[in-house]
């Protein structure tokens, strides 16, 4: 039986709420963050297009187990629609497919917005990661195939007109749920206003539970990154072992893994109870405020995340135990 190779990287866990710059893909961003932290494992909670900027929550180590909870969180986008052209990708990257000389006025736009709030039906862009017959829609679109993508339900809590800097552009802010395509919003509003439209600028400013206060930029990460020490030699020419790199400055930019689970009931356990949970056993919850039933809950010990599980008849039963908070 082949022996498993030693894991590469440090066993660091937590969230990096990365302010992704334009031009960088989501996969590229994860690779960069993983390298900067020398992390064993990393993943992101929700793709952000290369032409878009803003919040890309990146999970390190044990935090990758909490990615689904962040994926389900509400998102807020600030975006600019350019009127007069519809494009194949519904943003600046694609070729022009429709044009119009009409430009909407503020009153027309405001009258339209209520149709885009609540639970609506939305058709994703041709250039999207939606799978059609086992193939990604963008792969089919790149070879010239027009695919029939069915509409799907998405939820939009609000959409606000922020500014109209000129008659060709309008700036909006939208708060929406999982699976919403902002590019589709621009396309559909343009069609409804009979002037066509596409995304000229897109920035994600929030992914619940994280806010703009949690942002960390590439420049901040690079400034905190520990440089590689140069090898030194004694007078006899013998090499002195290099000191271990100090990651404390960059690690200070990591948010605790448990922050992703603010949406769940929190159960504080004693050290003795925590030991039982780590062994895979259930524990009885005591105290006046202890939940009796909960489909999902997270347990903490000494303020650190311990496990995700559920509460049944006053007992916390673990489903996923964390080795690091």
The predicted structure's pLDDT at residue 145: 59
Distances (CA, A) of 234 to 49, 231, 237, 238: 52, 10, 5, 5
The predicted structure's pLDDT at residue 241: 56
Q: Residue 98 CB: number of other CB atoms within 10 A?
A: 16
CATH number of 264-321: 2.30.130.10
- Domain residues of the chain, as ranges? 14-73+209-224, 75-207, 264-321
The predicted structure's pLDDT at residue 132: 54
The predicted structure's pLDDT at residue 22: 95
Q: Which two tokens stand for residue 208?
A: 């619940």
Q: Residue 320 CB: number of other CB atoms within 10 A?
A: 11
State yes or no: pLDDT of 67 exceeds 80. Answer: yes
Let me know: does 138 contact 129? Beta carbons within 8 Å: yes
Q: What is the pLDDT of residues 16-43, one digit of tens each?
A: 999 999 999 999 999 999 999 999 999 9
Q: What is the pLDDT of residues 72-118, one digit of tens each?
A: 999 999 999 999 999 988 999 889 999 999 999 999 999 999 999 99
Span 58-65, mean pLDDT? 95
Q: What count of Cα atoms within 13 Å lies in the side-chain half-sphere of residue 165?
A: 9
What's the count of helices (H) and strands (E) in the chain, helices before strands?
A: 8, 19
The predicted structure's pLDDT at residue 323: 82
Mean pLDDT score across all residues of the chain: 88
Span 202-217, mean pLDDT? 96
Q: What is the pLDDT of residues 289-313, one digit of tens each?
A: 888 899 999 999 998 899 999 999 9
What residues have CB less than 8 Å from 53, skipping those under 6 apart? 19, 20, 21, 22, 202, 203, 204
Let me know: does 281 contact 319? Beta carbons within 8 Å: no
State yes or no: pLDDT of 127 exceeds 70. Answer: no
Residue 183 binned pLDDT confidence (cut-offs 50, 70, 90)? very high
Q: Do domains 14-73+209-224 and 264-321 have the same CATH topology?
A: no
Global pTM value = 0.86
% of the chain at pLDDT higher than 90: 71
Please confirm, yes or no, whether 256 is among the known catalytic residues. no
The residue annotated as part of the active site, out of 49, 91, 188, 214, is 49
CATH number of 75-207: 3.30.2350.10
Q: From CA 228, how far away is CA 263, in angstroms rounded?
A: 40
Comparing CA positions, the residue from 34, 29, 31, 65 lying closest to residue 48 is 29
The predicted structure's pLDDT at residue 4: 57
State yes or no: pLDDT of 1 exceeds 80. Answer: no
Query: What CATH superfamily classification does 14-73+209-224 receive?
Result: Pseudouridine synthase (3.30.2350.10)
Locus of tokens 């041709």: 126
């Amino acid at each position: 039986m082949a022996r498993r190779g030693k894991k590469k990287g440090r066993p660091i866990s937590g969230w990096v709420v990365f302010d992704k710059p334009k031009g960088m893909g989501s996969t590229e961003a994860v690779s960069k963050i993983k390298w900067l932290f020398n992390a064993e494992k990393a993943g992101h909670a929700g793709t952000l297009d290369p032409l878009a900027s803003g919040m890309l929550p990146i999970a390190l180590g044990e935090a990758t187990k909490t990615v689904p909870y962040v994926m389900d969180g509400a998102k807020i986008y600030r975006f600019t629609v350019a009127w007069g052209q519809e494009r194949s990708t519904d943003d600046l990257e694609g070729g022009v497919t429709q044009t119009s000389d009409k430009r909407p006025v503020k009153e027309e736009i405001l009258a339209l917005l209520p149709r885009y709030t609540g639970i609506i039906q939305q058709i994703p862009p041709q250039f999207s990661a939606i799978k059609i017959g086992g193939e990604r829609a963008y792969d089919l679109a790149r070879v010239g195939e027009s695919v029939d993508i069915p509409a799907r339900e998405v939820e939009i809590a609000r959409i606000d007109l922020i500014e109209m800097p000129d008659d060709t552009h309008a700036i909006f802010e939208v708060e929406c749920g999982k699976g919403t395509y902002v590019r589709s919003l621009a396309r559909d509003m343009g069609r409804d206003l009979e002037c066509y439209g596409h995304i000229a600028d897109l920035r994600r400013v929030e992914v619940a539970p994280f806010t703009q206060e949690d942002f960390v930029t590439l420049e901040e990460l690079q400034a905190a990154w520990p440089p590689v020490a140069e090898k030194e030699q004694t007078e006899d020419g013998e090499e002195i072992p290099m000191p271990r790199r100090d990651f404390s400055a960059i690690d200070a930019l990591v948010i605790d893994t448990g922050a992703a689970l603010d949406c769940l009931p929190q159960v504080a356990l004693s050290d003795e109870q925590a030991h039982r949970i780590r062994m895979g056993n259930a524990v009885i919850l005591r105290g006046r405020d202890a939940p009796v039933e909960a489909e999902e809950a997270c347990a903490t010990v000494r303020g650190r995340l311990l496990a995700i599980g559920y509460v049944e008849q006053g007992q916390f039963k673990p489903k996923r135990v964390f080795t690091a908070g």
